[in-house]
Structure 1
Amino acid sequence: MCVSVVCVCVLMLRFCPVLLVLMLASSGANVVVQRDAQFDVTYDDTVTSDNQTIYSYNHTVSRNKTEGVRVSVELLSESAPSPVLFVVRQKQAVLSFQVPLILRGLYQRKYQYTQLGRTLCQPPTKAVAETQFFFVDVSTLSSAGVQYQLRVSRVDRFTLQTDKKFSFNATPSQPQFFRYVFPEGVDTVIVKVNSQKNFPCSVMSIQDIQCPVYDLDNNVAFIGMYQTMTTTAAITVQRKDFPSNSFYVVVVVKTEDEACGGSLRFYPLLPDELLDAGNRSKTLDVIVSPAINSEVYVMGMLFCLGIFLSFYLLTFLMACVENKRYDAVKSGALSAERFCMESLMNDVSVYFRNSFSDPSIMRSLESVGRSRHESLSSVEEDDYDTLADIDSDKNIVRTKKFLCVSDLARKDKRILSKKYQIYFWNIATIAVFYALPVIQLVITYQTVVNVTGNQDICYYNFLCAHPLGALSSFNNILSNLGYVLLGLLFLLIVLQRDILHNRALERNENTALECGIPKHFGLYYAMGTALMMEGLLSACYHVCPNYTNFQFDTSFMYMIAGLCMLKLYQKRHPDINASAYSAYACLAAVIFFSVLGVVFGKGNTAFWIIFSVIHILATLLLSTQLYYMGRWRLDSGILRRMLNVIYTDCIRQCSGPMYIDRMVLLVMGNIVNWSLAAYGLIKRPNDFASYLLAIAICNLLLYFAFYIIMKLRSGERIQCLALVCILFTAVVWGFALFFFFQGLSTWQKTPAESREHNRECILLSFFDDHDIWHFLSSIAMFGSFLVLLTMDDDLDTVQRDKIYVF
């Protein structure tokens, strides 16, 4: 009996599905209706909690042809208590979404979308051709009927072609993705997405061929590589990262624009409020182009090495010519030495005759002579003088109206050599302790970028960023090689000069002992080391350039500018130049303010007021130090002495300044620095580090120009080699600054806005404008160092009491 009942039921299910539906409806059960659906046909239907509709589709999948399928849905009912759920069941994947779709923005604000479009991923097939079925299930929990519209269509241009532009539209609820297959012989491609409109903000993602595809604003960052974009996005993709030799290019329009630098719209923060997203449709173009091959990498590296190694070759040839010239004029050099010695002896005899009646001067001269022969290896050096004989008369000497180098070169050379060698050892120590954590940090940055795929972390020029190994932009790192090689070359040149000078001292040549600018090479060694470290730290910065590590690229630029100014001052003031400890302490304060400015300076009025006041006070204190050659004290009586000077010099007798040349330099320096302080206070530039570097460079250029003008005004001349270096360096600096101000990226803006400035490579299809800046600026700094090194070579046979101090 039971068997008979079961057989009857089976027959009813097999032959009377309509009767079954009526029976289930009469009993109050959920009715499931399956319909054979066709592509490119729009279905208008209604769904309730009592009925569920299944649309069945079938299509032929070919192994040699990739065809996309897109599901488009629109909710026609104006309001529904419950959303409509769509579930797409494929052979190896399930895609589900609800209508209306709720996407969250900043501060958990919710946006509602009633029109959706989703592209289905295509499962791979091993057969030449295979018929696959997929089903679209439509259901809801709403008891009232909800009207909807469904359309499934084929995407004919689903596979992107190499070097062929393809245009499409996208919205937050209707994302798009396409497939690209690596052609034979191409291992690296660059995917570029462009748009004529800045907003709405979008995201471009590169994902492996797998299901599901993450193509919504709230999940697009889950896998693959991605970057936000306004008008431009570019990602370099390598075949080795995708085992299937293909990948998806996914483009998603974001619900809000804050990630791309857009304004934040104000809304009341109500917990259940649904915001209207408005019209956020965006038209975009995508093109996939082959990237450079290994031959271009090799050519770029050989070009970089060839440029800077040519300086080594040129230096070697000039050294050979100089040695031949030295051999040819050796006898003439001996005559010049004899002439310098005779002139020195004549001046000493005149000095003795004129000052024979002054016992104090005689005692001072005897003590100076005695100090030059005594062993002073155990004497320690501080900021100023320690020798008793110099303490006794330096106030008189330094207040003379016209000073000569001999007046400020009275200390034993061994003491000063030790003093200035500290500059080199200190900067070498600083370099080690500074560079090691920097290298560790940028390696971490690069690892985070590679693991997370978030390419908004680093501000590259993505249109000319060539990866190598784990490095995302190898060309920007390689172009810093010039700083290291030219810094090393400068150290070798200084070493050669140092050795020749020491040999001359060992032979007791009077031209080395009593003529020319006193030669102390410690600052030169420090400058060469700083140039090498600038290259290393600039390379570290360009591993992942961003807001938080920009100071790596500028720290040693401050040091180079400071060391150059100290070297200029030391040339004519060897006895009273600052010690290495105080100099590096001041530079550390500058770097400290640089970090504070980057972190707190943007839009902070209090910070800019404090910095401007400190800047002006530091300028005044340094001006006073330079004008009085260190012979003043900062104590409680400073105001009384200032008023006394103003009364006696300006009111009582109205006399002009005693040191006209120094006064002109310092007045100009104060005008420049006060103007820069006012500009910073008014404009408040976002890039505080560059603003601070501009202050240092302006002061260096001002002092350099003053030095050259005063040198010519004092009757000195500039030799041919130094003149060639000056002209060559000026021209190279001009071209270098031109490429620097091209501005291919900027961390002052959002990553998407920074990419608007990206441009293609312009040199060998490998280097961009910023790489050329690296090339030219390293050459220009090397030339500037050579100018400092050779500028006073014309004084090598001139007695020091005939060389003026300025």
Structure 2
Amino acid sequence: MCVLLQTHSLVSCFRSQADDGSRMLRFCPVLLVLMLASSGANVVVQRDAQFDVTYDDTVTSDNQTIYSYNHTVSRNKTEGVRVSVELLSESAPSPVLFVVRQKQAVLSFQVPLILRGLYQRKYQYTQLGRTLCQPPTKAVAETQFFFVDVSTLSSAGVQYQLRVSRVDRFTLQTDKKFSFNATPSQPQFFRYVFPEGVDTVIVKVNSQKNFPCSVMSIQDIQCPVYDLDNNVAFIGMYQTMTTTAAITVQRKDFPSNSFYVVVVVKTEDEACGGSLRFYPLLPDELLDAGNRSKTLDVIVSPAINSEVYVMGMLFCLGIFLSFYLLTFLMACVENKRYDAVFEMIMTRMLTLSSEAATNSLASADGNYGYIERSLESVGRSRHESLSSVEEDDYDTLADIDSDKNIVRTKKFLCVSDLARKDKRILSKKYQIYFWNIATIAVFYALPVIQLVITYQTVVNVTGNQDICYYNFLCAHPLGALSSFNNILSNLGYVLLGLLFLLIVLQRDILHNRALERNENTALECGIPKHFGLYYAMGTALMMEGLLSACYHVCPNYTNFQFDTSFMYMIAGLCMLKLYQKRHPDINASAYSAYACLAAVIFFSVLGVVFGKGNTAFWIIFSVIHILATLLLSTQLYYMGRWRLDSGILRRMLNVIYTDCIRQCSGPMYIDRMVLLVMGNIVNWSLAAYGLIKRPNDFASYLLAIAICNLLLYFAFYIIMKLRSGERIQCLALVCILFTAVVWGFALFFFFQGLSTWQKTPAESREHNRECILLSFFDDHDIWHFLSSIAMFGSFLVLLTMDDDLDTVQRDKIYVF
């Protein structure tokens, strides 16, 4: 009887493996040998079994049971089959092995099931539920057999319960939500077939409970299906999840035009940011898995089509190209006005020349008194115009042109006092800013691009979508890029940075032409025109767009500095430009400025890597922050006329004694002192906040310090400008108001927080939200749009805010 049953099993093996080629046929003789070798010891019983019937039975090492099932498989209908088993014996020396033999597939699992967690901790499950994979069939309808073999090596009887049932809703329908339960030992998967006309869909899985931690996976239609915690990451695309997971799936990636949606509950919650459970681990200790059941909803919705992609790209280009059009129209109006003014001036000069020639011919009798008096009055007028202060305040020492201490320590300084160097030398000095940042951009950007391409390749090859922190509910892929919309929205930085460079170039050309004509307004009036820093600012804005796009190829905590590095550059260059306006001779050189910015980026990297919860790092950084603030304050207050050497403490004590104790005189430079006191208050407060709170996002904290200092200095500049009797022209005022409004809206969208790499990928996805603009752009994309416009407007403010001084002598423009 045993041999007959084994022969029947062998026939069944041939029957079930006949369609799988020679490899599977070679497996059957091996099975025959094993059966014959064990025929003397085992009793094999085969039973015809029915769906939806529960079988309670006992298995020992001396007997095996084979349950035979058959069902009809249709080419036009997919039906799921689920095998559920439960171990009824409280303890068994050996596990029970279940082997499900299907056509083209074999699934095996043991009960109790042992799953491993963090630090190799083991969890035991006595109830299992597995869905069988459904290989495609070529026939219209076909009857297939599958067998469930039950065996064990335990000499004592082990009681078990077996039930095989059909899954009613195995195929998911478009835009229809389906709810189900899952546990670590009872995963679930369902099939979705692409309907006609749909090439891309978004699979969303939601749950009301944060924990237990789960995994959602998208796998091709094949056997086996990897649906356990220890193998779900072997194939396809997957995400960990607490309450939300979303994966965009494209038809081109699945030749069968269908895929499986697999949901697995993990044995532990650490991958989703849950609390770490500590246990005293012993060899071979089994931990109680607890109740880790989770109710989830799955819905598959069509993604956007190509028309939405085109509309999104046209919208993005239209916004920023409109700035080009507006600038072109304003340039045309400005050029017409300039030509009209120039023509009026030339006409007036020709008229005056004609009148002078007529007068000279009329006074041919040699009356030169008038000419002598005219020359004397012109000379006196010019001498008066070059006087920067009252006669009693003017220092008449012979070495005023050579001794910097005499000039820079005057109580009231004018721009002419700090614009004594040759303009050609200064222009070359400030052009180094542009060439240096261009060089930095090349050497910085190339490895960044290479790295993010590698990141994207790893994501596409491994399918691990926990690597990148996208807003998965609004991440539209294009080609190899997973979130094309987040990259496209950075186009504004590049286009507006280029536009700013063109505006600066136009001003540079007009200024050089004025110098060639020896116009007095270009030579002796207004803020000295040095455009090197402006070129550097425009280049930095373009690089910010490029590096932000690179960051959004795969945003995560290891490459966040790509997105912020040139933000530090922009903030630093803007502060340098503000200072340069009134201090052209004593502004920092490009080498020292970029060295300081490099130090800032260095600390940014250290903060990201070591700053989280590291008390020593925060103490060191806070001390360096405060010392740097004091040194910079001293440099600004004394206009660089001080030395950091061994005698610095003696000189400080001397100043304190003479100015504060002996005669208690107030500060010599009141305005500078007010600015520096406020700056120290702000920076000391930020240092204290960092030391106390220790924010996780150190890069953003460092950027906040830079922005606060920039805003403080800009506000001081505007106040002092108005206090000095200067005015702000209409164009600059419009730019200021427009930029302030845009910055307000931009910051609103920035703080929406659609994802955060400070948390686990699963926790980050809890903040994901749907697209809000054209079904293509999310809140962060709008931040990119508005912040690029706001930065461009800020640059225009710096460029135009002192246009009212273009006709004012430099010795009447105050330094502050």
TM-score of the two chains, using structure 1 as the length reference: 0.90
Distance 1:427 1:100 in 2: 64
SS for the counterpart of 2:256 is coil
**Change in CA separation of 1:16 and 1:324 when aligned onto 2, cut-off 3 Å:** closer
- Give the drift of 1:17: 23
SS for the counterpart of 2:701 is helix
Distance 2:757 2:292 in 1: 27
- Give the drift of 1:180: 0.1
Partner of 2:365: 352
Distance 1:275 1:374 in 2: 93
Q: Does the CA contact (< 8 Å) of 1:217 and 1:254 recur in 2?
A: yes
**Change in CA separation of 1:349 and 1:178 when aligned onto 2, cut-off 3 Å:** farther
1:777-805 alpha-carbon deviations (Å, 9 max, x no partner): 00000000000000000000000010000
Distance 1:383 1:90 in 2: 103
TM-score of the two chains, using structure 2 as the length reference: 0.89
1:32-87 alpha-carbon deviations (Å, 9 max, x no partner): 00000000000000000011000000000000000000000000000000000000
List runs of 5+ in structure 1 lacking aligned partners: 330-341, 355-360
- Give the drift of 1:23: 17
1:325-384 alpha-carbon deviations (Å, 9 max, x no partner): 22232xxxxxxxxxxxx9999999999999xxxxxx999999999999999999999999
SS for the counterpart of 1:59 is strand
Partner of 2:499: 489
SS for the counterpart of 1:16 is helix
1:148-193 alpha-carbon deviations (Å, 9 max, x no partner): 0000000010000000000000000000000000000000000000
1:12-46 alpha-carbon deviations (Å, 9 max, x no partner): 99999999999999996210000000000000000
1:539-562 alpha-carbon deviations (Å, 9 max, x no partner): 000000001000000000000000
**Change in CA separation of 1:321 and 1:98 when aligned onto 2, cut-off 3 Å:** same
1:233-272 alpha-carbon deviations (Å, 9 max, x no partner): 0000000000000000000000000000011101112121
Distance 1:92 1:189 in 2: 29
**Change in CA separation of 1:266 and 1:766 when aligned onto 2, cut-off 3 Å:** same
- Give the drift of 1:122: 1.0
1:564-607 alpha-carbon deviations (Å, 9 max, x no partner): 00000000000000000000000000000000000000000000
Partner of 1:362: 372
**Change in CA separation of 1:48 and 1:376 when aligned onto 2, cut-off 3 Å:** farther
List runs of 5+ in structure 2 lacking aligned partners: 4-10, 14-23, 342-354
Does residue 533 (structure 1) correspond to residue 546 (structure 2)? The answer is no
Q: Does the CA contact (< 8 Å) of 2:247 and 2:472 recur in 1?
A: yes
SS for the counterpart of 1:89 is strand
Partner of 1:184: 196
SS for the counterpart of 2:364 is helix
1:469-500 alpha-carbon deviations (Å, 9 max, x no partner): 00000000000000000000000000000000
Q: Does the CA contact (< 8 Å) of 1:746 and 1:754 recur in 2?
A: yes
**Change in CA separation of 1:515 and 1:343 when aligned onto 2, cut-off 3 Å:** farther
**Change in CA separation of 1:718 and 1:453 when aligned onto 2, cut-off 3 Å:** same
**Change in CA separation of 1:72 and 1:26 when aligned onto 2, cut-off 3 Å:** closer
**Change in CA separation of 1:379 and 1:187 when aligned onto 2, cut-off 3 Å:** farther
**Change in CA separation of 1:595 and 1:17 when aligned onto 2, cut-off 3 Å:** closer
SS for the counterpart of 2:366 is helix
**Change in CA separation of 1:708 and 1:275 when aligned onto 2, cut-off 3 Å:** same
Question: Runs ≥4 in structure 1, deviation > 2 angstroms?
Answer: 12-29, 342-354, 361-393
Cα RMSD (Å) of the superposition? Answer: 6.8
Matches within 5 A, 1:34-53: 34-53=46-65
1:616-643 alpha-carbon deviations (Å, 9 max, x no partner): 0000000000000000000000000001
Distance 1:350 1:596 in 2: 82
SS for the counterpart of 1:112 is strand
Q: Does the CA contact (< 8 Å) of 1:405 and 1:573 recur in 2?
A: yes
SS for the counterpart of 2:259 is strand
- Give the drift of 1:419: 0.4
**Change in CA separation of 1:265 and 1:176 when aligned onto 2, cut-off 3 Å:** same
Distance 1:110 1:120 in 2: 26
Q: Does the CA contact (< 8 Å) of 1:383 and 1:578 recur in 2?
A: no
> Which of 300, 322, 325 is the matching residue for 1:310?
322
Q: Does the CA contact (< 8 Å) of 1:24 and 1:31 recur in 2?
A: no
**Change in CA separation of 1:734 and 1:53 when aligned onto 2, cut-off 3 Å:** same
**Change in CA separation of 1:172 and 1:658 when aligned onto 2, cut-off 3 Å:** same
SS for the counterpart of 1:633 is coil
**Change in CA separation of 1:388 and 1:612 when aligned onto 2, cut-off 3 Å:** farther
Q: Does the CA contact (< 8 Å) of 1:258 and 1:264 recur in 2?
A: yes
**Change in CA separation of 1:584 and 1:140 when aligned onto 2, cut-off 3 Å:** same
Distance 1:525 1:559 in 2: 13
Partner of 2:453: 443
SS for the counterpart of 1:221 is helix
Matches within 5 A, 1:98-247: 98-247=110-259
SS for the counterpart of 2:383 is coil
Q: Count how many residue pairs are aligned between Structure 1 and Structure 2.
A: 783
- Give the drift of 1:392: 2.7
1:379-409 alpha-carbon deviations (Å, 9 max, x no partner): 9999999999777321111111110000000
- Give the drift of 1:222: 0.4
1:703-756 alpha-carbon deviations (Å, 9 max, x no partner): 000000000000000000000000000000000000000000000000000000
Q: Does the CA contact (< 8 Å) of 2:388 and 2:812 recur in 1?
A: no
**Change in CA separation of 1:795 and 1:773 when aligned onto 2, cut-off 3 Å:** same
Q: Does the CA contact (< 8 Å) of 1:21 and 1:31 recur in 2?
A: no
Q: Does the CA contact (< 8 Å) of 1:383 and 1:577 recur in 2?
A: no
**Change in CA separation of 1:105 and 1:20 when aligned onto 2, cut-off 3 Å:** closer
Q: Does the CA contact (< 8 Å) of 2:385 and 2:809 recur in 1?
A: no
Distance 2:807 2:362 in 1: 20
**Change in CA separation of 1:504 and 1:123 when aligned onto 2, cut-off 3 Å:** same
1:173-228 alpha-carbon deviations (Å, 9 max, x no partner): 00000000000000000000000000000000000000000000000000000010
Q: Does the CA contact (< 8 Å) of 1:480 and 1:538 recur in 2?
A: yes
